[in-house]
C-alpha cells in the first residue's frame, strides 16, 4: 500500500478492481464513505455485484482474469483523449528514456524480445535503456561515497552510474513513451469489451470517470487485493495499476496511490520480515547460487548506482551483524556464507512446489505453522495425497484444522497413512504481547490481555524451545554444517524468558558498542541514516529503524514511537503522523515528492504534503526524497522516485519475469478459444503447468468460468469463525452463486444441492441463484460465470462440509510471485 487507510477520504475518484473491501475490510468503508460524501465518484469493477458495488456509483462487470485488457484499454483511452498528466509523466517517469534497439513485442506470437522457448523464460537484456554517459562514485575521503571505502566495509567495486539516453520531446520511436503508446493502441474499446465481457457504454463511463483524476489537482485511488493477484499474471495486473496511476499523476498524491488491502492479520509484517522465499527481511535479497554467491557479489549485484539504495551495503552488513552478532567480523565477510542460498531464478520452494516435492519424496517432514494448506492451497485433493507421503507433520495452531486432520478427510484411508502428526497448541493473539502491522505500514504494539489457555504457548516461545533443543543437539553431535546454528545470535530474552522487546531492538537497530542485550542496555538508532556498513551497527530490519528508539526505556513499549497516540493533524489530510509509526521513517504517503511539480509547487492547493518555499521544503509528511543534506535544503529536482536508481518511475520495467509491459493473456483455464490481442493465448511463463497434478481442463469439457472469494462472516479456512455459532447462523454453509439464466439452463432451483466438478475434483455445495452474476458475451460467445466461497471443510465441530472448494482450483502460479490462480478456472455443474 503506497498510502494508508485514512487517506482514502482524500480521493476524488475511487476504483475498486479486484477488491471487495466492504466485506473483507469493513473499516475501510468509513474512509471511503467520507470521500463519497464529499462528492468522490466510486467505481467497482468485479465479476459480480458485491456489497462494495452496492455502495458505489458505477458497477462494471468483468470476466475474471481479464483485468490487463481492462487496464490496457484505460491506458489507450487516457492517451487518445489526452488525459495523461504531461508534466508528471515527462519529468517523473521513464517515458523519455530510449530503449535498446533490440527491444520489441510481436503481437503474432505474444512474445517480447528475449524469450527462450526451451526454458519458457525471458532474458531481459533488450528491455534495458540506451546509455548516454557514465559516472562513478567518489569514494575518496570527503567524497559523497567515502563510507564505501572506509575500514570495516566489505571490499566491493561500486556500480557505474549509467545515465540513460532521453528524448524530452517523446518523439523518438525507441523511447518508452512511443513503445508504450504503440503497445496499448491495440486495446480499443471494442476489443476490451469482447475480451472482458462488459458493454461499451459502461466501459466508456468507467474510463471517462476514472481518467478525470488525471487533472493535476485531482487524485484517484485504486484499491485492489486478490481479484488482481491470484492470476498467472497477477504481478502484471499490479504493474498495470501502477502504470495507470503514473499516467494520471496519482502516485505520491494524497487520495491517490496503488493500495493493496492486505489479508491475514500482520501479513504486512510477515512480508516485511522475509516470510516469502525470495526476499530476505526488509526486501533485501538472499544469497543465491548465481550472482549473489559471496558478500562481494551481493554488494556488486544489489547496490544501486544512484538513489537511496546506494545505501544497501549499510543495511546488509547491519543485518548480518544482527544474525551473527559477535561472530560476524570483517574477516569472515560478516558471516555471509552461513546464510542459506536460494536457487538460481529465485523462487522455487513456495507452496505449490512444496507439495510437488512431497509427492517426489524430497520433503519428508513439514512444519505447518499458522496456516492450513489442506484447505487453503490450490488443488487440495492433491495436497492431501502429497501430505500422506510425509514421515512427520507438525501443525502449530489453535484448532485441529484440515491440515492437522488431513488423514481423515472424507476421501482418505487413515489405515494406509503412516505420517506422524503433531499438533502444538498456540496462544491466541490476545494471549501474548507483540508487534503487528496494518495495511498502511503502521507498526503497533499489542499488549497481552490474558494468559494462554491450557498448554498453549506463544509462537515465539514454541520457536525458542525448538531452537534450544536443536542447538543443543548440534553442540553435542556436530552434524552437517553446524556453523550457522552455532553462530547465530539468539539473545532475545528478558529475565531468562524469550520476549518480543529485545526482538524489537534487533528490528530497530542499534550501535553495537554500548549495547548489551543481557543487561537491557541498548544504544538504539533513531533513523536508518545512522546505519553503517562497517560492522558498528546491527539492524535486522532497516525499514523499521526509529519505531523503537528510546534507549532510556527500551523495555517500555509505551515509551516508543509505535505506541504514540497523538491526534494532531496539521495537514488536514488525515496523516496523523504522531499516531503509531509508519515505515519507513514514519512516512505516511510513499513517493510524496510527486505531489508537487518539478519546481516543488503542490499540484493541488488542498492536498499539500510537501512544498518548496523558495528557500526550504515545508513538509507535512516525512519527505520521500532528499529534502536537505547536512542541514542544507536541497532545491527541487526531478528525482521523485528515489528508491529506484533512475529516480524516475517505470512505465516500462525490465525487472519483471514475464515482460516489460503488462499484456493480456488468458487464464490457465479459459472459457474462450481466442485471444484477439496476441498469438500466445495464455501467458508463456505460467509456472508449474507441467506438473501432472495440475490436470488442465478445456472449455469443451468444462464450459463455465469460476472464481472464488470471501464473505464477511467467515475468515479464510474458517478454523476460528466456524467455531462461533453466531457467525454460522449468519452464514451456515458453503455455496455457489449462479445466474438465473444458468440455473434455468441446468434445471437447478434455489436451495438445491449442486455438484461442481472439473479434472481435479468435485464438490457438492448449496445453490444461491442471484442476479449478482450475469451471463456475458465473451469474444462473441455466451459465457457463464459462477462464484464460490472457500471457508468450509471437514474439520471442526460446526458447519463442516464434506466438500472442499479448493479441490477444484489449479495449482499453477504467477512467474514473479508464484501466487496460485484461485480467481479464474473452469468447472461444470449439475443438480446433485
Ligand atoms: N471477513 C473476512 N475478511 C477478510 C478475509 C476473510 O476471509 N474474511 N480474508 C483476508 C485475506 S487473507 C485477504 S488476502 C483479503 C482479501 O480481500 P479481497 O481481495 O477483497 O477478497 P476476495 O473476496 O477474495 O476477492 C475480492 C473480489 O475480487 C473479485 N474477483 C474475482 N476475480 C476477479 C478478477 O479476475 N478481476 C477482478 N477485477 N475482480 C475479481 C471477487 O468477486 C471479489 O469480490 O481479505 C482479508 N479480509
Ligand atoms: N479458493 C481460494 N483459496 C484461497 C484464497 C481465495 O481467495 N480463494 N485466498 C488465499 C489467501 S489470500 C490466503 S491468505 C490463504 C489463507 O490460508 P491459510 O493461512 O492457510 O488460512 P487460515 O484459515 O487463515 O489459517 C490460519 C491458521 O492459523 C491459525 N492461527 C490464528 N492465529 C494464530 C497464531 O497466533 N499462531 C498460530 N500458530 N496459528 C494461528 C488459525 O487457527 C488458522 O487455522 O488462503 C488462500 N486460499
Ligand atoms: Mo490473504
pLDDT tens, residue by residue, 733-763: 999 999 999 999 999 999 899 999 999 999 9
- Among 43, 47, 671, the mutation site with the greatest number of ligand 1 atoms within 8 A of its Cβ is 47
Is residue 301 within 8 A of residue 514, CB to CB? The reply is: no
Q: Is 594 a member of any domain?
A: no
DSSP designation for 698: P
Please check whether residues 237 and 357 belong to one and the same domain: no
Mean pLDDT of 765-783: 97
Pairing label, strands 41-45, 58-60: parallel
Q: Is 278 a member of any domain?
A: no
**Per-residue pLDDT at 274 exceeds 90:** no
- Reported pTM: 0.97
**Per-residue pLDDT at 819 exceeds 70:** yes
Where residue 387 sits, what CATH number does that domain have? 3.40.50.740
Report residues whose beta carbon is within 6 angstroms of any ligand 1 atom.
Answer: 17-21, 24-25, 45-48, 50, 62, 64-65, 67, 225-227, 261, 263-264, 707, 709-710, 712, 714-716, 787, 823-824
Q: Is 651 a member of any domain?
A: no
pLDDT for res 361: 94
404 lines ligand 2 (CB under 6 A): no
Residue showing cell 487517506 = 7
Please check whether residues 368 and 255 belong to one and the same domain: no
What is the band of 278 on the pLDDT scale with cuts at 50, 70, 90? confident
Is residue 217 within 8 A of residue 800, CB to CB? The reply is: no
Whole-number Cα distances in Å, 262 to 41, 580, 612, 687, 694: 23, 18, 34, 24, 28
What is the band of 345 on the pLDDT scale with cuts at 50, 70, 90? low
Please check whether residues 252 and 354 belong to one and the same domain: no
pLDDT tens, residue by residue, 229-238: 999 999 999 9
Please check whether residues 258 and 375 belong to one and the same domain: no
- Among 369, 370, 793, the mutation site with the greatest number of ligand 2 atoms within 8 A of its Cβ is 370
Please check whether residues 357 and 461 belong to one and the same domain: yes
Beta strands in 225-275 (DSSP E): 258-260
**Per-residue pLDDT at 343 exceeds 70:** yes
Question: Among 459, 477, 495, which residue terminates a domain?
Answer: 477
Please report the sign of the dihedral spanned by the C-alpha atoms of residue 182, residue 185, residue 186, residue 187.
positive
The span from the CA of 670 to the CA of 683, in Å, is 12
Please check whether residues 374 and 471 belong to one and the same domain: yes
401 lines ligand 2 (CB under 6 A): yes
Query: Which one of the ligands is nearest to 53 CA?
Result: 1
Structure-model confidence comparison of residues 275 and 141, the more confident one: 141
Phi, psi of 84 (to 5 degrees): -75, 155
pLDDT tens, residue by residue, 580-607: 999 999 999 999 999 999 999 999 999 9
What is the band of 277 on the pLDDT scale with cuts at 50, 70, 90? confident
Please check whether residues 81 and 181 belong to one and the same domain: yes
Where residue 71 sits, what CATH number does that domain have? 3.40.228.10
Average pLDDT, rounded, for the chain: 96
Please check whether residues 255 and 354 belong to one and the same domain: no
pLDDT-above-70 percentage for the chain = 99
Q: Is 217 a member of any domain?
A: yes
**Per-residue pLDDT at 344 exceeds 70:** no
Which of 728, 749, 310, 319 is closest to 541 using CA atoms?
Answer: 319
Peptide bond into 242 cis (omega under 30): no
pLDDT tens, residue by residue, 439-489: 999 999 999 999 999 999 999 999 999 999 999 999 999 999 999 999 999
Please check whether residues 247 and 359 belong to one and the same domain: no
The structural domain count of the chain equals 3
Structure-model confidence comparison of residues 342 and 545, the more confident one: 545
Q: Is 557 a member of any domain?
A: no
Where residue 790 sits, what CATH number does that domain have? 2.40.40.20
Cα of 812 to ligand 3 centre, how many Å? 17
Q: Is 486 a member of any domain?
A: no
DSSP assignments along 114-156, one per residue: TEETTTTEE--GGGSBPEEEEE----STTSTTGGGGSTTSPP-
pLDDT tens, residue by residue, 383-428: 999 999 999 999 999 999 999 999 999 999 999 999 999 999 999 9
Q: Is 33 a member of any domain?
A: yes
Q: Is 686 a member of any domain?
A: no
271 lines ligand 2 (CB under 6 A): no
Q: Whose CA is nearest to atom 26 of ligand 1?
A: 19
Angle at 252 between CA 90 and CA 13, to 5 degrees: 95
Q: How many other C-beta atoms are found inside a 10 Å radius of the C-beta of residue 806? A: 28
Q: Write out the residue range of the structural domain in which residue 247 sits.
A: 5-97+174-264
Q: Whose CA is nearest to atom 45 of ligand 2?
A: 376
pLDDT tens, residue by residue, 677-697: 999 999 999 999 999 999 999
The span from the CA of 391 to the CA of 398, in Å, is 23
Helix axes 67-80, 176-185, angle to 10 degrees: 120
Please check whether residues 59 and 184 belong to one and the same domain: yes
pLDDT for res 348: 66
Is residue 7 within 8 A of residue 574, CB to CB? The reply is: yes
Amino acid at each position: 500500500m503506497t498510502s494508508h487507510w485514512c487517506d482514502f477520504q482524500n480521493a476524488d475518484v475511487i476504483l475498486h478492481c479486484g477488491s471487495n473491501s466492504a466485506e473483507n475490510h469493513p473499516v475501510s468503508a468509513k474512509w471511503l464513505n467520507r470521500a463519497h460524501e464529499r462528492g468522490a465518484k466510486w467505481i467497482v469493477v468485479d465479476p459480480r455485484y458485491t456489497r462494495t458495488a452496492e455502495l458505489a456509483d458505477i458497477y462494471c462487470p468483468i470476466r475474471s482474469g481479464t483485468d490487463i485488457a481492462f487496464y490496457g484499454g484505460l491506458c489507450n483511452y487516457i492517451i487518445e483523449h489526452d488525459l495523461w498528466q504531461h508534466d508528471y509523466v515527462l519529468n517523473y517517469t521513464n517515458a523519455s528514456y530510449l530503449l535498446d534497439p533490440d527491444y520489441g513485442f510481436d503481437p503474432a506470437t505474444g512474445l517480447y524480445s528475449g524469450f527462450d522457448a526451451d526454458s519458457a523464460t525471458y532474458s531481459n537484456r533488450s528491455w534495458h535503456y540506451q546509455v548516454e554517459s557514465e559516472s562513478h562514485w567518489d569514494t575518496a575521503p570527503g567524497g559523497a561515497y567515502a563510507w564505501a571505502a572506509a575500514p570495516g566495509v566489505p571490499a566491493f567495486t561500486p556500480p557505474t552510474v549509467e545515465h540513460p539516453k532521453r528524448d524530452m520531446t517523446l518523439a523518438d520511436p525507441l523511447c518508452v513513451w512511443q513503445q508504450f503508446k504503440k503497445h496499448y493502441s491495440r486495446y480499443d474499446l471494442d476489443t476490451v469489451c469482447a475480451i472482458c465481457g462488459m458493454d461499451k457504454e459502461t466501459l466508456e463511463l468507467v474510463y471517462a470517470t476514472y481518467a478525470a483524476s488525471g487533472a493535476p489537482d485531482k487524485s484517484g485511488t485504486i484499491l485492489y487485493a486478490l481479484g488482481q493477484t491470484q492470476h498467472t499474471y497477477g504481478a502484471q495486473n499490479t504493474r498495470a495499476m501502477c502504470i495507470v496511476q503514473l499516467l494520471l499523476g496519482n502516485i505520491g498524491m494524497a487520495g491517490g496511490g496503488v493500495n493493496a488491502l492486505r489479508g491475514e492479520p500482520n501479513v504486512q509484517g510477515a512480508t516485511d520480515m522475509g516470510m516469502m522465499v525470495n526476499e530476505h527481511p526488509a526486501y533485501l535479497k538472499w544469497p543465491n547460487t548465481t550472482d549473489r554467491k559471496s558478500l562481494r557479489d551481493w554488494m556488486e549485484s544489489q547496490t544501486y548506482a544512484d538513489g537511496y539504495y546506494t545505501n544497501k551495503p549499510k543495511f546488509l552488513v547491519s543485518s548480518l551483524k544482527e544474525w551473527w552478532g559477535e561472530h560476524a567480523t570483517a574477516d569472515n565477510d560478516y558471516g555471509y556464507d552461513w546464510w542459506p542460498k536460494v536457487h538460481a531464478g529465485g523462487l522455487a520452494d513456495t507452496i505449490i512446489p512444496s507439495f510437488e516435492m512431497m509427492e517426489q519424496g524430497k520433503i519428508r517432514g513439514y512444519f505447518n505453522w499458522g496456516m492450513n494448506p489442506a484447505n487453503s492451497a490450490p488443488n487440495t485433493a492433491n495436497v492431501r495425497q502429497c501430505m500422506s507421503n510425509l514421515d512427520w507433520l507438525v501443525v502449530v495452531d489453535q484448532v485441529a484444522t484440515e491440515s492437522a486432520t488431513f488423514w481423515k478427510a472424507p476421501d482418505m484411508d487413515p489405515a494406509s497413512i503412516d505420517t506422524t502428526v503433531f499438533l502444538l497448541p498456540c496462544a491466541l493473539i490476545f494471549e501474548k504481547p507483540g508487534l503487528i502491522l496494518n495495511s498502511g505500514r503502521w507498526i503497533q504494539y499489542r499488549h497481552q490481555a490474558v494468559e494462554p489457555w491450557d498448554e498453549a504457548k506463544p509462537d515465539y516461545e514454541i520457536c525458542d524451545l525448538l531452537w534450544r533443543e536443536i542447538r543443543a543437539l548440534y553442540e553435542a553431535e556436530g552434524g552437517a554444517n553446524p556453523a550457522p546454528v552455532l553462530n547465530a545470535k539468539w539473545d532475545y530474552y528478558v529475565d531468562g524468558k524469550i520476549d518480543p522487546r529485545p526482538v524489537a531492538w534487533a528490528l530497530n537497530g542499534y550501535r553495537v558498542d554500548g549495547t548489551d542485550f543481557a543487561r537491557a542496555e541498548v544504544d538504539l538508532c533513531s533513523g536508518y541514516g545512522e546505519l553503517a556498513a562497517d560492522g558498528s551497527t546491527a539492524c535486522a530490519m532497516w525499514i523499521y529503524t526509529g519505531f523503537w528508539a528510546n534507549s532510556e526505556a527500551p523495555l517500555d513499549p509505551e515509551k516508543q514511537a509505535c505506541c504514540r497516540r497523538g491526534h494532531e493533524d496539521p495537514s488536514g489530510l488525515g496523516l496523523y503522523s504522531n499516531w503509531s509509526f509508519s515505515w519507513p521513517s514514519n512516512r505516511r504517503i510513499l513517493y510524496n515528492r510527486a505531489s508537487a511539480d518539478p519546481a516543488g509547487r503542490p499540484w493541488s492547493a488542498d492536498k499539500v504534503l510537501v512544498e518548496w518555499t523558495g528557500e526550504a521544503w515545508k513538509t507535512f509528511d516525512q519527505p520521500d526524497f532528499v529534502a536537505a543534506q547536512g542541514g542544507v535544503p536541497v532545491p527541487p529536482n526531478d528525482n521523485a522516485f528515489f528508491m529506484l536508481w533512475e529516480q524516475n518511475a517505470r512505465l516500462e520495467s525490465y525487472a519483471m519475469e514475464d515482460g516489460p509491459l503488462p499484456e493480456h493473456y488468458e487464464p490457465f483455464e479459459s472459457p474462450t478459444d481466442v485471444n484477439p490481442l496476441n498469438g500466445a493465448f495464455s501467458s508463456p511463463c505460467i509456472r508449474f503447468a507441467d506438473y501432472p497434478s495440475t490436470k488442465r481442463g478445456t472449455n469443451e469439457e468444462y464450459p463455465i468460468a469460476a472464481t472464488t472469494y470471501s464473505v464477511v462472516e467467515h475468515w479464510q479456512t474458517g478454523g476460528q469463525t466456524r467455531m462461533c455459532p453466531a457467525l454460522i447462523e449468519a452464514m451456515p454453509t458453503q455455496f455457489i452463486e449462479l445466474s438465473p439464466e444458468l440455473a434455468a439452463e441446468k434445471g437447478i432451483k434455489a436451495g438445491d444441492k449442486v455438484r461442481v466438478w472439473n479434472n481435479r475434483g468435485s464438490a457438492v455445495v448449496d445453490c444461491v441463484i442471484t442476479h449478482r452474476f450475469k451471463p456475458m458475451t465473451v469474444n462473441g460467445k455466451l459465457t457463464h460465470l459462477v462464484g464460490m466461497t472457500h471457508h468450509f471443510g471437514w474439520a471442526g465441530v460446526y458447519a463442516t462440509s464434506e466438500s472442499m472448494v479448493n479441490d477444484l482450483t489449479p495449482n499453477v502460479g504467477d512467474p514473479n510471485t508464484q501466487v496460485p490462480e484461485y480467481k479464474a478456472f473452469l468447472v461444470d455443474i449439475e443438480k446433485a
